[in-house]
Amino acid sequence: MRAALVLMLPLAFGPMATAQQIDLVVNGESLAGFVLPVEPVEGGLTISAERRWEWSSLDTKRLWLEGDVSIDLGDYVFSAPAAAVWINRIPSSGGLITQYAVFFPVASEPTRYAGVGAGGKELLVTGSTRGPVELTTVLTDRGAPVGKPELAKGVARLQRHLRAIATGAPVLEQRPDIDITPKPPEVPITVGASIKASTDSTLLPPITIRAADTGTLPIIAGSAMVSWFGGSIALDAATDAVTITGGVQIDATGMQTGDGPRDLQLSAESGVVFLEPGTLAALKAKGKDASPATTISALDIVGIYLEGDVVATDFQYTIRCRHVYYDLVRNKAYAADAVLRTVDRKGQLLVARAAEMQQVAGRQWRVGESTLSNSEFFVPHLSVGVSRATVTQTAAGDSFVIADDVTGRLGRVPFFWMPTVQGSLERLPIKSVQLGYGDPEGAVVGVELDPFVLLGLKPEPGLDATLEAGVQSQYGINADLRMKGDAGGAWNADFFGVYDFLNSEQTANSGYVTSANEWRGMVTADWVLQSSPDANTRLQLGVQSDPTLVSIFRPDDYQQRRPYETSAWTTSSTDNSIFDFGASISANDWVSTMWQLASRPYTAEKYPELNYRRFGDRIFGDAVTWSSEYTGSVMSLNLQDTDSLEIGADPDAISINPAFAATQNIRQAYEGAGYDSKMRGRVATRQEFAMPLDLGDVRVTPFASGNGIGYFFDDFKDYSAQSDSFRGLLSGGVRASTTLTASYDTVRSRLLDLERLRHVIKPYGTAWYGWDSNDLTNYPIYDQEWEGWSGGAVGQAGLDQRLQTMRGGPGNWQSVDWVTVDAGVVVDDRSNDLQRTVTPGDAFGLKNFQSPLPSFYAWRPEYSQWGDHLYGNGTWAVGDALGLYGMVTWMLEDRDSQGDDLAQGSVGFRITQSPAVTWYTEYRYVNTFDDTGLYPDDELLQGGLQYRVSENYNIALAGQYDFLAETFRSATGSITRQFPDFAVTINGGYDLITDAYSFGVGVSLGGQSANLGSALNSAFGQNSSLGGR
């Protein structure tokens, strides 16, 4: 057998588990098989340098560092121009231990000047730690460096050090072992003699040790029993080789790993098994030979060579190649023209194709120039080309890839490049790519990335991030980093930045502006800490660089988002009470949502505010319920400090007065109407008492309430001379309802899809009167729930009807609403006296007023928007696939408008023909109640279709026709082609309001339809799934 120094190394810091035995050559290339005789410390290992070369030797990570090298070993800090580092990990009863060796050609250690440090030339430092290892370098190269004689010296030094450990009985040290090369004896100087070079770096003859494998999973473990089969077997006793032809199958069984039993199966057209010297002779002496009936230990095998249609599998990975050589001594395999196929724990496939492939451990492969994909096609739909890659199948079942010079390809077409990528197969570096063109944005290119994969980091559980970057040829370059997590509570953060080309840009208001700033951006964040099931703390941050950023680059948010604010609130609740306390401000002097700009272009700031609410307390037994609310705040108004022109908005959106110019400062206009930014205090309360009565089948609930508000610090005399520092409302009313039902069990109709019928009729009504000490028009609105109430007399009567039937068939009958109709009438005494008016002190009509569209709220009548009207809404489920719906509001009193008394109305239908086909059509009319012509009524017909043509194709269309303009207001469409591992979406659209069109092509990885998201919303905005602006 091979001559070897057999050494069993027990783990010094805990009992050794049963492990595989492997032969290791002590050549200074790795720490494999050794436990350094140094007590592990708790402090970590911190390494920094300008450049590093990184590679592996068995289970040891190798580094060569250059340029301002600093290595912190806890109590020791070394500085050097270069260093070689060996790092590996070993298990112990107290957890993983990191042991290291560092060779400094020249080093200095500051503490040596105090007499407790070390320094000098050719310094070797060895140690171990339980702490973390941190590595920071500017540049990274894969593979061992070439032409570094100092590295060879370091290998020789470590070899001698390990040889001494292997052959001696070292004493366990309690600090890093610093081995300084002894100074050679001085040689007398002889004039004219030659200078002899030092021979210190000469490598000693290598020795071999047999040790417990503490980290690397062997390709074929020493515990395996190996057998082979073939058409023809020839033995060569001189070389101890077994040649097999006519079809080869080799089985290695009985291997035990940390994950359980593992077998390896090899097959090929022919092959050679190289045995330890003397193995065939030993078998013959025992009366055996190397026939298929013979099974031998893997320790008796040096290597295995196979060629011709080679297949190797352990049933978790599979390699196919032309040639392969398994070097069992060095635990490596070399394959030519190889295809690696492995599947992670989630069933995700990884296929690697390479001209040369090297297996360096049981579940780790290195490849040169290769292609990685999730497809077994020879030319996969989506693939990644790399110059070098390491694929590791972790103990958890994931495939971890480290790759350099990465090029993404669609078929054979490259579409992105990155210098290096590290990450799990579950997370791809690119999520989607989108190309397009829009007017006026110009050409658009965007990409959505996973920043953790790009940086080679593994995110903490619950942490996610997305990086979007895009270029719009007429607008600029933008990037958006969105993060979310649940550390200490659910949180979200969004960092958006733009480098602006300073060209004319279109806002979501349809106007054009030119930015004065090249660098623009915004930060939004929110965090909710759930301290208990009934209590939480909420933090928000919202900051923008300028007033048009959101309307240009985030049109969806501009139209739909809640107001941006910076706030902190804490809330606690019980079964019937809520307490909250906090403060909120606006970090900007403008509003960044369209609905806020069109209603009240200012923000109410609170510093602070306290609210306490109780609902449904029982008093007088259970006869009366008592609900109460209390609030106290210090507040002010932050008015929009821009004009309409600056934000690209129509001045008609601010004021109905044609004299309101585009250059009129909005803040100054509101201050002219009596608004200001003074700090005021407010305390308010609302008390309501209700007494539910059941009078047979009729339920009657008399109720009474009182509201009170007091203001301090300042009054509102500049806003209205009729205002007062106290305002109160006393009110009372009654609600009544009953329910009548009738069943018709004999009703059957295939035409109407009816199976029995049930008729539910619910008449209801409300009568209410409230006395208000002062009109709401005499106060600016800070909060609609407090300043927005008003008094009056009102009566409501309505009838809610439902026809119900059974659908679904035998075994699946379900009750459904076949027809529903809710209709009623509301009459009040306020008429139009709270509508918008122009007064001598308010030339632009900016004071507080009610909406011209009436609505009644029976649960709190004081919040109602007054006006006599009829209302109704209904639905008809014609069948499981077809549904009709509609609603109407009709005025019973005159109100300024261009049309008749129809306030609003709509009718439409939705058809779900099958899970693959859905479409809808709706007609809608909205009266703007403006007789000046500045705000035309809306009369629209809109529809949409989503059609899944097949498993691979999906079509979506949507459009809106304007009857008054007699043209299409918008039209969008998209076609999505689904591939096994990605999706391609082609979309386009036109928007009449902004007079803009767009066209785009998106690629989304992972098999989902492409949607680039917010970084390119200016080009693919309001309906990103359809690609419209």
Concatenated DSSP letters of 911-946: EEEETTEEEEEEEEEE----SSSSS--EEEEEEEEE
Cβ distance 974 to 955 under 8 Å?
yes
CA distance 493 to 481: 8
Predicted local distance difference test score (pLDDT) of residue 5: 28
- Beta-bridged to residue 683, according to DSSP, are 632, 710
CA distance 719 to 725: 12
User: What number is the average pLDDT over the span 143-151?
Assistant: 87
Residue 362 has pLDDT above 90, yes or no: no
Predicted local distance difference test score (pLDDT) of residue 417: 72
Residue 937 has pLDDT above 50, yes or no: yes
Predicted local distance difference test score (pLDDT) of residue 76: 75
Q: What is the pLDDT of residues 4-28, one digit of tens each?
A: 322 323 323 233 333 445 556 778 8
Predicted local distance difference test score (pLDDT) of residue 677: 94
**pLDDT band per the 50, 70, 90 thresholds, residue 974:** very high
Predicted local distance difference test score (pLDDT) of residue 178: 55
CA distance 675 to 7: 89
User: What number is the average pLDDT over the span 602-620?
Assistant: 95
Cβ distance 104 to 123 under 8 Å?
yes
Residue 181 has pLDDT above 50, yes or no: yes
Q: What is the pLDDT of residues 701-757, one digit of tens each?
A: 999 999 999 999 999 999 999 999 999 999 999 999 999 999 999 999 988 889 999
User: What number is the average pLDDT over the span 820-841?
Assistant: 88
**pLDDT band per the 50, 70, 90 thresholds, residue 412:** low
User: What number is the average pLDDT over the span 583-597?
Assistant: 91
Say what percent of the chain tops pLDDT 70.
81
Token representation of residue 465: 């991030």
Which strands make up the sheet holding 77-90, listed edge to edge?
A: 133-142, 45-57, 60-72, 77-90, 97-107, 120-129, 177-180
Predicted local distance difference test score (pLDDT) of residue 835: 83
User: What number is the average pLDDT over the span 144-162?
Assistant: 87
User: What number is the average pLDDT over the span 344-366?
Assistant: 63
Residue 498 has pLDDT above 90, yes or no: yes
Say what percent of the chain tops pLDDT 90.
41
Cβ distance 815 to 802 under 8 Å?
no
More confident residue, 1 or 334: 334
Q: What is the pLDDT of residues 295-306, one digit of tens each?
A: 788 888 888 999
Q: What is the pLDDT of residues 280-321, one digit of tens each?
A: 888 777 766 656 656 788 888 888 999 988 998 887 778 888
For 169, residues 6+ apart whose C-beta sits below 8 A from its C-beta are none
Nearest 5°: the CA angle 978, 982, 986 is: 60
**Which residue from 854, 851, 849 is spatially nearest to 868, judged by alpha carbons?**
854
pTM of the model: 0.68
Token representation of residue 64: 């060569």
More confident residue, 416 or 499: 499
Instruction: State the CB neighbour count (10 A cutoff) for residue 732.
Output: 15
How is residue 387 annotated by DSSP?
Answer: S
Cβ distance 407 to 417 under 8 Å?
yes
CA distance 38 to 433: 52
More confident residue, 577 or 655: 577
More confident residue, 194 or 360: 360
Residue 620 has pLDDT above 70, yes or no: yes
**pLDDT band per the 50, 70, 90 thresholds, residue 883:** very high
More confident residue, 193 or 647: 647
The string of DSSP codes covering 472-504 is ETTTEEEEEEEEEE-TTSEEEEEEEEEEE---E
Cβ distance 269 to 317 under 8 Å?
no
Residue 806 has pLDDT above 70, yes or no: yes
User: What number is the average pLDDT over the span 887-897?
Assistant: 89
- Cα–Cα distances (Å) from 424 to 219, 428, 454, 652, in that order, read 22, 8, 11, 55
CA distance 367 to 824: 76
Q: Helices in 766-847 by DSSP H: which ranges?
A: 784-787
Instruction: State the CB neighbour count (10 A cutoff) for residue 101.
Output: 27
Q: Can you tell me which residue has the tokens 């509570």?
A: 489
Predicted local distance difference test score (pLDDT) of residue 253: 86
Q: How much is the mean pLDDT over the chain?
A: 82
Residue 1002 has pLDDT above 90, yes or no: no
Specify burial of residue 185 (Cβ count, 10 A radius: 0-12, 13-18, 19+): exposed
User: What number is the average pLDDT over the span 478-494?
Assistant: 92
Specify burial of residue 997 (Cβ count, 10 A radius: 0-12, 13-18, 19+): middle
CA distance 596 to 637: 14
Question: Rounded to 5 degrees, what are φ and ψ at 28?
Answer: 80, 0
CA distance 23 to 2: 10
Lowest mean pLDDT among 370-384, 392-406, 766-780, 1002-1016: 1002-1016
**Which residue from 554, 648, 513, 448 is spatially nearest to 1022, judged by alpha carbons?**
554
For 91, residues 6+ apart whose C-beta sits below 8 A from its C-beta are 11, 14, 17, 97, 214
Residue 619 has pLDDT above 60, yes or no: yes
Residue 70 has pLDDT above 50, yes or no: yes
Predicted local distance difference test score (pLDDT) of residue 361: 62
Among 706-720, 834-848, 914-928, top mean pLDDT goes to: 706-720
Cβ distance 997 to 419 under 8 Å?
no
Token representation of residue 319: 């390699």
Predicted local distance difference test score (pLDDT) of residue 343: 61
Residue 108 has pLDDT above 80, yes or no: no
User: What number is the average pLDDT over the span 346-375?
Assistant: 64
User: What number is the average pLDDT over the span 452-477?
Assistant: 87
Predicted local distance difference test score (pLDDT) of residue 1026: 26
